[in-house]
């Protein structure tokens, strides 16, 4: 069974879609079969992968209204291990059409029961609201990833989201966990960014990802070319940041990667759950010319390099698993950054 991660924050402009698209692309780049589900009516996640929303034959709207299955809607992308369930402007009216449905909060969860077996990760891009679409995503998800922009107003919206997560746990999805809080649009030159980051880490502790997403122009340019930043500029700081985030997600979810995904006919896919390292090419050594007086070849005194692995001191330590931590802080305990705003 693949891990379903909802990327949610009811405040707009904090990097939800950017995080969902680039996290999914980074997971796919490490050869983890990944499905991105765009549940935002703006369909920015769909267009960020080079798919024109107005031209798709069916979308997540058809899945939520029961007229199509997820496997029939999913489209292949430019990346071999990445599929996407596109969004459409019709999704604006989906909440109204779903009002009279039985268990309307569980529609997406039921739709994902079969298809999630084919992927290691399913990433859901939620709309900037706490309506029925976001509620469906939180009910279907195993965990929620919360992007937080390192600005003051981004902190104020966390309380309402955390209360919603608490309600979902109590009534709809008791297994919902917090995947982590991701600091986005971080600018280390600004005093306010550092203050907000310090306050978030002080209150959320190991719930915060070690990696932060720095403010990077390449991340903003990539959607206009219909590419994730990893394909647009792989050596940019933004691409490296999201690769680091994906690495943390993989390390913290090894138990979900034990079972191999299945193909459409039910046969297991031949995909290793961990990062694949291509085998080294065999070294061809030309034999020396046969001579009667040729001395035996000298033995090299250089010791072989030890393989990187568990004993590699340079390997980054695993982040503490935060999924089963205590209940998040209440809304009234959210921090307010102290100090003056950065100079203009």
Buried b (16+ CB within 10 A) or exposed e, 260-288: bbeeeeeeeeeeebeeeeeeeeeeeeeee
Q: Are 53 and 43 in contact (CB under 8 A)?
A: yes
Rounded Cα gap, residues 279 and 317, in angstroms: 25
Rounded Cα gap, residues 207 and 124, in angstroms: 20
pLDDT of amino acid 262: 52
Rounded Cα gap, residues 142 and 154, in angstroms: 24
Upper half-sphere CA count for residue 278 (Cβ side, 13 Å): 3
End-to-end CA distance of the chain: 50
pLDDT of amino acid 23: 97
Buried b (16+ CB within 10 A) or exposed e, 155-171: bebbbebbebbeebeee
Going from the first residue of the chain to its last (344 residues), give the mean pLDDT of each consecutive group of 10, the final group possibly shorter.
Answer: 91 91 96 95 94 92 92 94 94 86 91 91 92 93 94 79 90 93 92 90 90 94 95 95 96 77 46 35 43 47 42 38 42 48 45
Sign of the CA dihedral running 207, 211, 214, 220: negative
pLDDT of amino acid 273: 36
Q: What angle do CA 190, 194, 196 make, to 5 degrees?
A: 115
Rounded Cα gap, residues 285 and 181, in angstroms: 52
Burial of 77 (0-12, 13-18, 19+ CB in 10 A): buried
DSSP at 125: E
pTM for this predicted structure: 0.75
For the record, the structure tokens of 135 come out as: 């509620």
pLDDT of amino acid 313: 38
pLDDT of amino acid 318: 41
Rounded Cα gap, residues 259 and 233, in angstroms: 33
**Largest Cα–Cα distance in the chain?**
94
């Amino acid at each position: 069974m693949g891990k379903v991660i909802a990327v949610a924050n009811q405040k707009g402009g904090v990097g939800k879609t950017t995080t969902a698209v680039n996290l999914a692309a980074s997971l796919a780049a490490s050869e983890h079969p990944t499905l991105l589900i765009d549940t935002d009516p703006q369909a920015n996640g769909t267009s960020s992968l080079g798919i024109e929303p107005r031209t798709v034959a069916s979308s997540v709207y058809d899945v939520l209204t029961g007229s199509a299955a997820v496997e029939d809607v999913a489209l292949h992308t430019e990346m071999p291990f990445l599929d996407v369930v596109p969004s459409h402007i019709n999704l604006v009216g989906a909440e109204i059409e779903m009002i009279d449905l039985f268990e309307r909060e569980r529609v997406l969860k039921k739709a994902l029961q079969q298809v999630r077996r084919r992927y290691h990760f399913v990433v859901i891009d939620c709309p900037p609201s706490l309506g029925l679409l976001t509620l469906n995503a939180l009910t279907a998800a195993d965990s929620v990833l919360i992007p937080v922009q390192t600005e003051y107003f981004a902190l104020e919206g966390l309380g309402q989201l955390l209360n919603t997560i608490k309600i979902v746990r109590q009534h709809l999805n008791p297994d919902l966990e917090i995947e982590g809080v991701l600091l986005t649009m971080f600018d280390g030159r600004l005093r306010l960014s550092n203050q907000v980051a310090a306050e978030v880490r002080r209150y959320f502790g190991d719930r915060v990802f070690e990696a932060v997403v720095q403010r990077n122009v390449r991340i903003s340019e990539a959607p206009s070319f219909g590419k994730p930043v990893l394909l647009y500029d792989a050596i940019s700081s933004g691409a490296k940041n999201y690769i680091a985030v994906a690495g943390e997600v993989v390390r913290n979810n090894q138990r979900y990667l034990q079972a191999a995904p299945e193909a459409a006919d039910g046969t297991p896919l031949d995909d290793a759950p961990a990062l694949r390292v291509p085998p080294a090419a065999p070294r061809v050594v030309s034999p020396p010319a046969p001579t009667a007086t040729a001395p035996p070849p000298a033995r090299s005194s250089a010791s072989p390099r030890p393989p990187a692995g568990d004993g590699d001191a340079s390997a980054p330590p695993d982040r503490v698993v935060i999924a089963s931590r205590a209940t998040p802080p209440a809304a009234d305990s959210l921090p307010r950054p102290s100090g003056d705003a950065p100079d203009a």
